[in-house]
Chains A and B, each alone.
Chain A
Amino acid sequence: MAGRRPGPAAILLLLLAAALAPISSAVRPVSDAHRSAAAELFVPSADGSFGDLESTYEAVRTFQILELEKYKSLTGKACEFAAEKLAFPSSSAAKDLFHAVRISGALGCSVDTGVYDGVVARLKAVIKDTNSLLEFYYSVGGLLSIKEQGHKVVLSDAESTFHAIKALSQSDGRWRYDTNSAESSTFAAGIALEALAGIVSLADAEVDPSMIGVVKNDIVKLFDTIKSYDDGTFYFDEKHVDATEYKGPIMTSASVVRGVTSFAAVVPGKLNIPGEKILGLSKFFLGIGLPGSAKDCFNQIESLSFLENNRVLVPLILSLPSKVFSLTSKDQLKVEVTTVFGSSAPPLKVNLVQVLGSDSKVINSENKELQFDLGNNVHHLDIAPLKIDVGKYSLVFEISLQEPEHETVYATGGRNTENVFITGLIKVNKAEIGISDNDAGTVESVQKLDLLKDTKVALSANHLHKLRLSFQLTTPLGQTFKPHQVFLKLKHESKVEHLFVVPGSSRQFKIVLDFLGLVEKFYYLSGRYDLELAVGDAAMENSFLRALGHLELDLPEAPEKAPRPPAQAVDPFSKFGPKAEISHIFRAPEKRPPKELSLAFMGLTLLPFIGFLIGLVRLGVNLKNFPSLPGPAAFASLFHAGIGAVLLLYVLFWLKLDLFTTLKYLGFLSIFLVFVGHRALSYLSSVSTKQKTA
């Protein structure tokens, strides 16, 4: 335990945070936190748009559901953006028209009837030609949105379109994207259900009830494939997560919720879906907390709004405003039962039926009804009569609706389990510290300690003595309390620290330090040691770090081979501080000679060349041997020009070209040079042999 460590206070803080962390991520209804998160996630770019039409619609719709005034400021830009697409329906994809129409609908943009006539004609043509589920979905969704905006839209061949979409369904309630694809998908099922709901709304005559019955059956089968966590959360996900078009659980669940609630809204009769699954889905969306991306935010908020108003069962969420209760301040247990958006629930009773300890042991199974406070819409109960001690507990609540007819409208999920944390003041008793002889065990000096404040005991001991420290911790209900952390710290003058865990029994905490066995661990360091005691727990409201006083320790001289105490860090927190700035060392530039000197030498190197030219003149060199006939003269000139060209190429190579380009040009030049050179030189050679023979 000895050595360099962050202080016990830091450990205590960390543990406290770790203990409270899981409690803070609980299911709570949509709140202002979601509103500010949405406002942060949907940020329009400089030109006022959100990128594509789909993102713009998602932003508008999310702001609208959350009743953020912000969306009204978007109206002008977004309407313009949508109108651009709607102006040319024949050249736009069904997907773009779908989103543009929905933006116009959500914002109430003024669109001419003539423009919508064109869009309707285009979308109907798409429905006629396509066999892809997505195309169906976009076209039907677009038509439905136009109808909802007050235009008369009738789908005359609704029955056959319904059949075309139904033909893509699979036996397990999933759907395929088109007739050619082999994969079935849960996401596609949600889309298909939404499209079918749209067709039912758009149909001129009633759709065959037997077909609707078949689809209802599909929905029940789809809900058999739902996945769950063990805390009652349900969600949809694809069977094969490696499939193409994989969307993730949030998008998949959102698609199914949208499809099922839309379908339930337009068909007569109820869907046979268990209430716990509806509730589990809403818990899943609320359990996301604050979403990390704009897409997730839209799917979360829109799904919850569909669940809030659905015709199957409206989920009622039981949540606790606070999950930490203090016995000292006699906190009341408060429970809220609301819809997912925090609206008040119909009249109902909440009973606390069971209290489970952290090890799932039943502590209390008395049925207690919570009092309802109409003003604050909160059910409350005093925790003192429950006789529960500090620690972690699971509370089991039961919700019962007061009006029997509400049972078919609301899903309460019956029993709800919530984890809570009870804190309280811990009493510290019978604290004693003393030094005893090693062999006799007789206590020489025992001092009582008051651990409520810092004390200043002065002890002295040598290596034949023992240090004893003991105290008792009791909870408010008189039980022995075992905190997470009980440490005794001995700190030498030279800042060498030693930490000891104080072991606890059922009766008391007691530590005996036998210095004879510890001399080596203490590095034979005699002198003054400061004593500190740290006791900490998340449930303990009075966790403390107390200075107890000091101990004058007289240890034997260190033998030669004794270990040296480790070097102490200046400040244990300094390693989290900023690092020293790195200064980069660059190679210093070589010293260059003065410019004049270099230029002078350049001139000097030209001198031998001038001398060479003078020498040539003095020798009387001439160009008489240069061929006079036009043919050979031309070849000779070309030969010299070729050599000049190669040298020029070398200069270019030095200045800017790379080796490969140079070699490429050199290849062409050398072929030319060999040809020309051969002609020129062979002519010269023939002339000289003629002269010799002549």
Chain B
Amino acid sequence: MPRATSDARLLIQSLSKAYAATPTNLKIIDMYVVFTVATALIQVAYMGLVGSFPFNSFLSGVLSCIGTAVLAVCLRIQVNKDNKEFKDLPPERAFADFVLCNLVLHLVIMNFLG
């Protein structure tokens, strides 16, 4: 057992060491994703506690968080310099896409909010 614990600790240490080398802008996006997913989880917890009425408000709240998290992940994929697939795509272009998609997403969310 102690062996396994130390292995796990080693693993985490190496992971965090490797992650520390990640560029800051990617870290920001990662934090943003964590923030939105956490918000979605809190809403789900609230729903579990008091029930799903009004359902459309709950759905729009959660989908707003999840949707923007997915968009942020897409942004991260495009901005990542190690990703050869989007080598030719400037990060500014990716950010513009992110902004546009968010605006469209939230128009729909607001319409659905009731």
A residues with CB within 8 A of B: 590-593, 597-598, 601, 604-605, 607-609, 611-612, 615-616, 619-621, 643, 646-647, 650-651, 653-654, 659, 662, 666, 670, 677-678, 681-682, 684-685, 688
Count of chain B residues with a beta carbon within 8 Å of a chain A beta carbon:
32
A-B contact pairs, 29 of them (CB 8 A): A590-B51, A591-B51, A593-B50, A601-B43, A601-B45, A601-B46, A604-B42, A605-B43, A607-B38, A608-B36, A609-B35, A609-B39, A611-B35, A612-B34, A612-B35, A616-B31, A619-B27, A620-B24, A621-B28, A643-B99, A646-B103, A653-B107, A654-B113, A662-B107, A677-B99, A681-B92, A684-B92, A685-B90, A685-B93
Is B83 positioned at the interface, with any CB of A under 8 Å from its CB? no
Q: CB-CB < 8 A to A677: which residues of B? A: 96, 99
Cβ-defined partner of B106 (8 Å) among A608, A647, A678: A647
Q: Among the interface residues A593, A598, A612, A647, which one has the most CB atoms of the partner chain B within 10 A?
A: A612
- Closest CB-CB distance, A30 to chain B, in whole Å? 69
A347 to B78, CA, bound (A): 120
B111 beta carbon closer than 8 Å to chain A: yes
Min CB–CB distance A321 → chain B (angstroms):
76
Closest to B99 in A: A643
B36: min CB distance to chain A, Å: 8
Q: Is the interface of A mostly helix, strand, loop or mixed?
A: helix
B19 at the interface (CB under 8 A from A): no
Question: B interface, by DSSP: helix, strand, loop or mixed?
Answer: helix
Total contacts A-B at CB 8 Å: 80
Residues of B in contact with A (beta carbons under 8 Å apart): 24, 27-28, 31-32, 34-36, 38-39, 42-43, 45-46, 49-51, 53-54, 90-93, 95-96, 99, 103, 106-107, 110-111, 113
Q: Is the CB of B50 within 8 A of A608?
A: no
Q: Kindly report which residue of chain B lies nearest to residue A621, judged by CB atoms.
A: B28
A611: chain B residues at CB < 8 Å are: 35, 38
> Least Cβ distance of A681 to chain B in Å?
4
CB-CB under 8 A from A601, the residues of chain B are 42-43, 45-46
Query: What CA separation (Å) do A659 and B110 show in the bound complex?
Result: 10
Cβ B111 vs Cβ A590 within 8 A: no
- Whether the pair A681, B50 counts as a contact (CB closer than 8 A) is no
How many angstroms from the CA of A650 to the CA of B34 in the assembled complex?
Answer: 24
Going nearest first, the 6 A-B pairs with the smallest beta carbon separation are: A593-B50, A608-B38, A612-B35, A681-B92, A590-B53, A685-B92
On whether the beta carbons of A597 and B93 are closer than 8 Å, the reply is no
Distance of A76 Cα from B34 Cα, bound (Å): 88
Residue from the list A616, A643, A650 in contact with B107, Cβ < 8 A: A650
**Shortest beta-carbon distance, B92 to chain A, in Å?**
4
Which A residue's beta carbon lies closest to that of B106? A650
**A678–B95 alpha-carbon span in the complex (Å):** 11
Residues on B with C-beta less than 8 A from A643 are 99, 103
Q: In the assembled complex, which residues on chain A have CB atoms less than 8 Å from the CB atom of B43?
A: 601, 605
